[in-house]
Amino acid sequence: MANSVARQEMPKIDFKSPNRFLNRELSWLEFNYRVLGEAENKIHPLLERVKFLSISASNLDEFYMVRVAGLKGQVAAGVDHPSVDGLTPSRQLIAIREKVLHLMEKQQSCWRAAKAELQKFGINILESNTVSEEEKDWLKNYFKTKVFPVLTPMAVDPAHPFPFIPNLGFSMVLRLHRHSDGQHLRALLPLPNLLERFVRLPGDDIRLISLDSIITQNIQDVFPDFDINQAAWFRVIRDTEFEIDEEAEDLIRTMGSALKQRIHGSIIKLSVNKDIPSDLCRMITDEIEVSALDVVLHDDLIGLSDTIELYSIDRPDLKFKPFDIRFPERVRELGGDCFEAIRTKDFIVHHPYESFDVVV
């Protein structure tokens, strides 16, 4: 009977098949989806969810600075050899852009939902057209005393080339019409990074407005002799990846040189609002030399990583309850002498549930 049963052969497995591997970069983006999922998790307190949203945005910024920058470097160097998952650097960039656009759309949707929920708890994120006349007066004074003194408007013309924009730099670009001679000019207004992104208005209620909204509302004070024809905000991300030869004769000097070059890495991502005039967007891309594939449109806040500032709001009811860590019992019994506790017997310290203070 055994001879009558056809012997079944095990299917052959191709251990080198690209289908057996997950792409490293796309896998990382899936991880960041899970971080964003924590921002959407209704079980978490509201400000904790805003914090997770900020983390997911900050993660994505770093992903571009390092991972995407590395792939762009490979493409520029002419590398077209596929990785073990079968994707070449150029194909990886295409797949990354598609997934990133969807991820950023979810982040913006999460931010809009968070703003609506924050309002229910008495935390209002305002737009410039939703503030009262009294608040407008306060904001104008705030602008004149706190913001205007640190602004540095710059002309952009043949005599004044487009200035350097640092990594994560946030700036306003403008087209102006001068009253005196009717000349049309271009200008750039970088957002100072020494100021907080969200400003709280006076009063018992928690009412905040973004710094870029304040500047936009008072931009005529920066250019009093001009008509402002067009204006838009944009943000850049630069390549910060660098490699160090650990066998270099002078490692400290090599590291210092690499860090200086890192500051001036090429721009790999340009973020703009979706309602930016096309000619203004084209002006930016031409000046900073990025392609249309490097441009990402936003329908709400640019730079969601700045929402981490909202976590400092004093609302313990909207945060996780503080966790009281436990001091290891044996160390406590021996008057806090961890060495005496070890002499008695080895023991395990469970982190983060037990204090790390006993670790030398």
51-74 pLDDT, tens digit each: 999 999 999 999 999 999 999 999
> Using an 8 Å Cβ cutoff, are 131 and 173 in contact?
no
> Using an 8 Å Cβ cutoff, are 221 and 241 in contact?
no
> Using an 8 Å Cβ cutoff, are 189 and 151 in contact?
yes
pLDDT at 351: 77
Query: Which residue is associated with the tokens 């990846």?
Result: 241
pLDDT at 332: 80
Measured CA to CA, the distance from residue 190 to residue 94 in angstroms comes to 31
Q: Is 80 exceeded by the pLDDT of residue 15? A: no
Other Cβ atoms within 10 Å of 315 Cβ, number:
17
Query: Which residue is associated with the tokens 């079944």?
Result: 8
Measured CA to CA, the distance from residue 318 to residue 232 in angstroms comes to 34
182 or 39: which leads in pLDDT: 39
Sign of CA dihedral 115, 120, 126, 127: positive
pLDDT at 46: 98
- DSSP per-residue string spanning 63-91: HIIIIIHHHHHHHHTT-----TTS--HHH
pLDDT tens digits for 256-283? Answer: 655 555 667 899 999 999 999 999 999 9
User: Which is it for strands 198-200 and 206-210: parallel, antiparallel or unpaired?
Assistant: antiparallel
pLDDT at 343: 84
Four-CA torsion 200, 203, 206, 210, nearest 10 degrees:
-20
Measured CA to CA, the distance from residue 50 to residue 229 in angstroms comes to 35
Q: Which region among 69-83, 197-211, 291-305, 324-338 has the lowest average model confidence (pLDDT)? A: 324-338
Measured CA to CA, the distance from residue 139 to residue 150 in angstroms comes to 16
> Using an 8 Å Cβ cutoff, are 60 and 103 in contact?
yes
pLDDT tens digits for 190-243? Answer: 998 889 999 999 998 999 999 999 999 999 999 999 999 999 999 999 998 755
Average pLDDT of span 157-185: 93
pTM: 0.86
User: Which is it for strands 123-126 and 206-210: parallel, antiparallel or unpaired?
Assistant: parallel
pLDDT at 283: 93
What structural domains and CATH numbers belong to the chain?
A: 18-120 (1.20.58.310), 122-315 (3.30.1840.10), 329-358 (no CATH)
Phi and psi at 230, nearest 5°, equal -145, 150
Across the chain, what does the average pLDDT equal?
89
Q: Is 90 exceeded by the pLDDT of residue 108? A: yes
Position 249 confidence tier, pLDDT thresholds 50, 70, 90: low
pLDDT at 261: 58
Q: Of the candidates 286, 285, 287, which has an alpha carbon nearest to the alpha carbon of residue 269?
A: 285
Q: Which region among 59-63, 169-173, 327-331 has the lowest average model confidence (pLDDT)? A: 327-331
pLDDT at 344: 83
Q: Is 70 exceeded by the pLDDT of residue 76? A: yes
